[in-house]
Chain A
């Protein structure tokens, strides 16, 4: 079985290496940070893993409110969290 290709993306300007087929939500968790802050400022991470809870929302390549659990990482992607 061939080793999964690795790719590099930036999470808040810090490089993160992941296997191809990794979701952006998983990459953010790998970086050890919350995906978002709630309306009262609490740290949050993914809950449902399937695109219905919206806790995994982050900014991808400048577009806000992306459901990162449903987006695969691509080479050079820029992810921002609050």
Chain B
């Protein structure tokens, strides 16, 4: 059996779903192939933090662009997506980190992202559960949180309303304009988007993607325990490191009143088991910043795998080895945030349209030479 499409997307996580909707909006005949279910991979495992991050100018541009898109979409989001514009507080524990806060404020300002600096007392006022004294924090009001599986579900349903077809099958191979499914169905497509996260390497050998394991804890309901997503400034150091296992304080208030406690990063850990040492370090760090958090009831712990690239930037655009193949993967811990921006950039590229931000830094071709060498 053989069918023809303009675009076939592999993976119905939040990135694949966002791409599907954008393709459909622009009139492309689109199909999505998902082996398990919508939003079931890294999308289900992550925090759902929509956050502007400045590890690099390219990361800042993409996250800011995407965060604006989420803000525009937020009014249309149904209740189960639990979108909440609670903002982020980048917490400074001491004067050295406060200087980092100043630097960050300037960088964000240059990109047009409004922020506020809180001093120690201001921070204590905003978040009474934080330990005192702390030096202060950078408040990014435009950041938000949501529940990713339902966000992916919403985007897919909207896409399907516009005619996108969903195949619930595993992809056996995808190249040269042909996608073979595990039931021998063949789909022909001008463009194939690989949006299958850390599993993208299965279909596109040589992709510079490594799994980066994370842990999260969710608590019972404690409304107003914290009001903003709280992240320590060391988070960037942890996310930036390519080789060490690390934890960093990162706690989110969900709309339900539950708290999500993160974060951890490990390279080379391929198993999904909870690592007691990492979990312990992560929760101890959370207790350092929020002394009373130890008394809350933790309902569940889980792990997930981020798709990480060597330069911390995603792969968005054509894969030089194959004219029909495009990538939308490698988003590491920013998949939820940058899903909407990814979709825009990719579909703009299909149409040869001007992009809102430069797509150069994310082009997969930047790794092609190293792949050929290998």
Contact = CB atoms under 8 A, between A and B. Distances in A.
A and B, direct touch (CB closer than 8 Å): yes
Interface of A: 39, 63-65
B295 A63 contact: yes
Is chain A's interface secondary structure helix, strand, loop, or mixed overall?
Answer: strand
A39 B297 contact: no
B243 interface: no
Q: How large is the interface on B (under 10, 10 to 19, 20 to 34, 35 or more residues)?
A: under 10
A64 B256 contact: no
B55 interface: no
Contacts of A39: 221, 256
B220 interface: yes
A65 B295 contact: no
Contacts of A65: 220, 297
A34 B102 CA distance: 51
Interface string B263-296: 0000000000000000000000000000000010
8 contacts: A39-B221, A39-B256, A63-B295, A64-B220, A64-B222, A64-B297, A65-B220, A65-B297
Interface centre among A39, A63, A64 (most CB of B within 10 A): A64
In order of increasing CB-CB distance, the 8 nearest A-B pairs are: A65-B297, A65-B220, A64-B297, A39-B256, A63-B295, A39-B221, A64-B222, A64-B220
A39 B220 CA distance: 11
Interface in B203-247: 220-222
A30 to B, nearest CB: 26
Interface centre among B221, B295, B297 (most CB of A within 10 A): B297
Nearest to B220: A65
A39 B80 CA distance: 14
Contacts of B221: 39
B225 to A, nearest CB: 11
A64 B256 CA distance: 16
Contacts of A63: 295
Given A39-B221, A64-B297, A65-B297, 5 more contacts: A39-B256, A63-B295, A64-B220, A64-B222, A65-B220
A73 to B, nearest CB: 21
A41 to B, nearest CB: 13
